[in-house]
Amino acid sequence: MFAEKISGAVTDRKALSKAIAALQTGDVLLVTRLDRLARSTRDLLNVLATISDRGAAFRSLADAWADTTTPHGRLILTVLAGLAEFERSLILARTGEGRTRAQARGVRFGRTPCPKPLPTTTSHVLPLQ
Q: Check whether 3 has a pLDDT greater than 80.
A: no
Let me know if residue 123 belongs to a domain. Answer: no
- Residue 66 within a domain: yes
In a domain, 68, yes or no: yes
| Cα within 13 Å of Cα(23), Cβ side | 24
Q: Is residue 5 part of a domain?
A: no
Write down the H helix ranges in 23-70.
Answer: 41-53
125 lies in a domain? no
Our count of domains for the chain comes to 1
How do beta strands 57-60 and 28-31 pair?
A: parallel
Q: What is the CATH number of the domain that holds 73?
A: 3.40.50.1390
110: left (phi over 0), alpha (psi -120 to 50) or beta: left
Range of the domain at 78: 14-92
Lowest mean pLDDT among 7-11, 12-16, 67-71: 7-11
| pLDDT > 70 in the chain, percent | 84
53-94 residue pLDDT tens: 999 999 888 888 888 888 888 888 888 778 877 888 898 899
Asked if the structure places residue 118 within a domain, the reply is: no
DSSP class of 123: T
In a domain, 73, yes or no: yes
